[in-house]
Amino acid sequence: MSDFTPDAIRNIAFVGHGGSGKTSISEFLLYSSGEINRIGTIAEGTTTSDFNPNEIERQISIAASPLHFVWKNTKVNLLDTPGYSDFIGGVKSSLHVSDTAIIILKGAEGVEVGTESAWEYIQKLELPAAIMVNKLDNEHSKFESTVAVAKERLSNDVAVVSFPVNEGINFNSIIDVIKMKKFTFSDPKSKKVSEEEIPAEFKEKAEQLRNELVEKVAESTEDLMEKFFEEGTLNDADFARGLKNAIIARSLIPVFAVSAEKGAGLFDFIDFVVEYLPSPVDRKPVVAKKVDSDKTLEVKCDPNAEPSLLVFKSMSEAHVGELSVFKVYSGTLIPGMDLFNEERNKPERLGQLYILNGHNRTEVSKLLAGDIGAVVKLKDTHTNNTLCSKSLGIILPHIEFPKPVIRGAVIPKTKGDEDKISTGLHTVHEEDPTLGVKYEPELGQTIISGQGELQLGLAVKMLKDRYKVDVDLAEPRIPYREAIRGVCESAEYKHKKQSGGRGQFGHVFLKIEPLPQGEGFEFVNAIVGGVIPGRFVPAVEKGIRELMDKGILTGSQVVDIKVTLFDGNFHNVDSDEVSFKIAGSQAFKKGFLAAKPVLLEPIYDLAIKVPEEFMGDVMGDISSRRGKISGMEAEGPFQIIKAKVPLADLYKYSTQLRSLTSGRGIHSRSFSHYEPVPKEVESKIIEEYNKAREEDS
């Protein structure tokens, strides 16, 4: 494959709800351009995009798949993204490196929850966009109403570029309102398209849509608006220039009528991609951070500049190792080039360079600015890392991955598998950074977190399939805290042990009182007159601290407490640090239990975004989880419900929310504060803890 300069590259990402046809459209485009010699199907598990065994088994895309093809001397890099919300990280990373987002809608269902989520990211990244209305061969397809809903719920800048002639099960013809021609598509495998004049019965509709498109283009700049008012239209050259500029400026979102199954409308679409969608040089330069100062630097898409790239995806293959997929932001990359990872302060040497179609690699001799490629076995570079020349010294903008909304504890079925589990989960995290992995010493559990049950379940399945490790996924323990609400003026404990020879002796008096929330621990030495020698005082504090870490009621950390050591006694021979450590911890335990102990639980802030018709069900469910509604606000057709809910009642909440809202509800969560557990719940937690201790012993 020849080298492609930035102006001859198009980077597009297919996004949309699950089942909208992103993978099938991708497959047809690869076939039509000659990249593959047969059209694979999802049902047979033979598509280029969905090559992972789990994708083939479940017939859904799980990871974003990098693809490419050449059309009319232009290289199109296509990122086929997952539609299922558990794998939203692949959507975010793909949009981050794309120059245009292509939103795929189903002709019957129209704008769905996956569409709305993707649209939010597109807006945030200020990406140019286009819409493909797919599955127009569905008997329930409604092209016009789908376009109307897209205008209402996505953007009023939507404008039809092609529309169906015979929508429904026999759909095979479109009318292109730019070329003002009718195109009929034969069997997809034949790649044949016939062109003819627009039939009389569609002439008026085509002209109306053409005029709407011209007016939209004219509105994009003042000079075009003046020409439009003077002449009543735009000539072909002005229209073509204005159309591309309007898309780049995000003031126009073209809409295409297509069917992946029939191949209808797709040649028309890809012609448009090459002709009118922005190349990397048409976009604004990316603003990067300089590592040696607070300054920023505009990184222009120039093949002759200092090289820089961002790794936006990692793939792990059994016989190859880790494959880093990246976008070149500036310069020209060649194998053997030395670059530097400023974030990790590590040098990297590029090995062989590849371009990808799914897991199929093609070696290339160079990659220019604006292009997308891959390299094998970088030592210290991972997803979201920048590589650049040492002299450039920049960090490119990071992909903003979503915060986790679900947690699970990984429980090994066999002792000794911990290292394999750690290695396996690290690999999963590299491939999908939205899957968090952390060992929590306080809980004694490895916790994985992510966007949904399916994502966590697949991580566990990968451990079994790839690393031959069986684990269970359980509800994580809750990091409760123990505190007091009262004061114990005097807690005494005398540790005395005599067993022949030197004994043990330590005697202490403690005052125990609560501190304001968040203050932690304060130890005060109020000993006077040397009743306890100074060398033994640190041992008393150490005993108290160790017990606070272990907990008294439920094995949870004790917090926000002040302890004053004010009296005691010692023995000239038998007293030592161990004796006073034991005396300190036991006196603290007595005083803690006498000072109105309480169990505190973590409370989380929830922001739940739902269509208005589901508000009642969602609010009722929040109440059943001991949650408190703190506010509501409207956002378009949605309502944002804000609530505070105990973490103990949020296990698998994302799954329940999807069930309550037909998949249209989403939520985010963040830690808020700790507050006392209701007494009846506290008693149950303490009882379960004591029962578990008895069983373990």
pLDDT digits (tens, 9 = 90+) for 106-136: 999 888 878 888 999 999 999 999 999 999 9
Reported as a single tens digit per residue, the pLDDT across 522-564 is 999 999 989 999 999 999 999 999 999 999 999 999 999 999 9
Distances (CA, A) of 193 to 74, 136, 168, 183, 268: 21, 17, 19, 6, 10
3-class secondary-structure state, position 485:
coil
For the chain, give the mean pLDDT: 92
Closest residue by Cα to residue 66 from 436, 453, 373, 464 = 373
Q: What is the pLDDT of residues 499-531, one digit of tens each?
A: 766 789 999 999 999 999 999 999 999 999 899
**Do 405 and 667 touch, CB atoms closer than 8 A?**
yes
Beta bridge partners of 106: 110, 134
Distance between CA atoms of residues 71 and 273, nearest Å = 9
Q: What is the pLDDT of residues 76-108, one digit of tens each?
A: 999 999 988 889 999 999 999 999 999 999 999
Order of strands across the sheet that contains 296-299: 296-299, 286-290, 394-395
Q: What pLDDT does residue 568 have?
A: 96
pTM of the model: 0.88
Q: Which tens digits make up the pLDDT trace of 275-289? A: 999 999 999 999 999
Strands 253-257 and 296-299: unpaired
CA distance 373 to 367: 7
Structure tokens at 509: 């008096």
Angstrom distances, CA of residue 644 to CA of 11, 517, 659: 42, 18, 21
The pLDDT of residue 543 is 97
The two counts, helices (H) then strands (E), for the chain are 16, 38
CA-to-CA distance for 475 and 556, rounded, in angstroms?
Answer: 17
User: Would you call 337 helix, strand, or coil by DSSP?
Assistant: coil
Determine what percent of the chain is predicted with pLDDT higher than 70: 99
pLDDT band at 319; cut points 50, 70, 90: low
- Residue 320: pLDDT band with limits 50, 70, 90: low
Instruction: Give the Cα separation of 112 and 662 in Å (integer).
Output: 10
Contact in structure between 532 and 565 (CB atoms under 8 Å): yes
pLDDT tens digits, one per residue of 379-389: 899 999 999 99
For residues 25 and 258, the answer to whether their CB atoms sit within 8 Å is: yes
Q: Which residue has the higher pLDDT, 481 or 52?
A: 481
Helix (H) or strand (E) holding 322: strand 321-330
pLDDT digits (tens, 9 = 90+) for 656-679: 998 999 888 889 999 999 999 999
- pLDDT score, position 411: 92
Q: Provide the pLDDT for residue 406.
A: 93
Examine the pLDDT at 267 and tell me if it is beyond 70: yes
Residue 192: the pLDDT is 87
Return the percentage of the chain with pLDDT > 90, whole number: 73
Q: Is residue 1 scored above 60 in pLDDT?
A: no
What CA–CA distance (Å, rounded) separates 655 from 626?
A: 18
Q: Between helices 266-276 and 22-32, what is the axis angle to 10°?
A: 80
Q: Per DSSP, what are the bridge partners of residue 610?
A: 639
Distance CA 467, CA 20 (A): 33
pLDDT tens per residue across span 596-635 = 999 999 999 999 998 889 999 999 999 999 999 999 998 8
3-state secondary structure of 532: coil
Query: Which domains does the chain show, CATH number per domain?
Result: 8-214+250-282 (3.40.50.300), 286-395 (2.40.30.10), 406-474 (3.30.70.870), 482-595 (3.30.230.10), 599-680 (3.30.70.240)
Arithmetic mean of pLDDT, 476-485: 96
- Give me the mean pLDDT over the 307-320 stretch: 85
Q: What is the mean pLDDT of residues 167-186?
A: 94
Cα separation, 124 vs 265, in Å, equals 29
Vertex 72 angle, CA 215 and 240, to 5°: 15
Closest CA to 8 of 79, 98, 75, 99: 75
Q: What is the mean pLDDT of residues 307-332?
A: 88
User: Any idea which residue has 């949020």 for tokens?
Assistant: 650
For the cut 80, the answer to whether the pLDDT of residue 13 exceeds it is yes
CB neighbour list of residue 487: distance below 8 Å, 6 or more residues apart: 511, 512, 513, 514, 595
Predicted confidence at residue 486, as pLDDT, reads 96
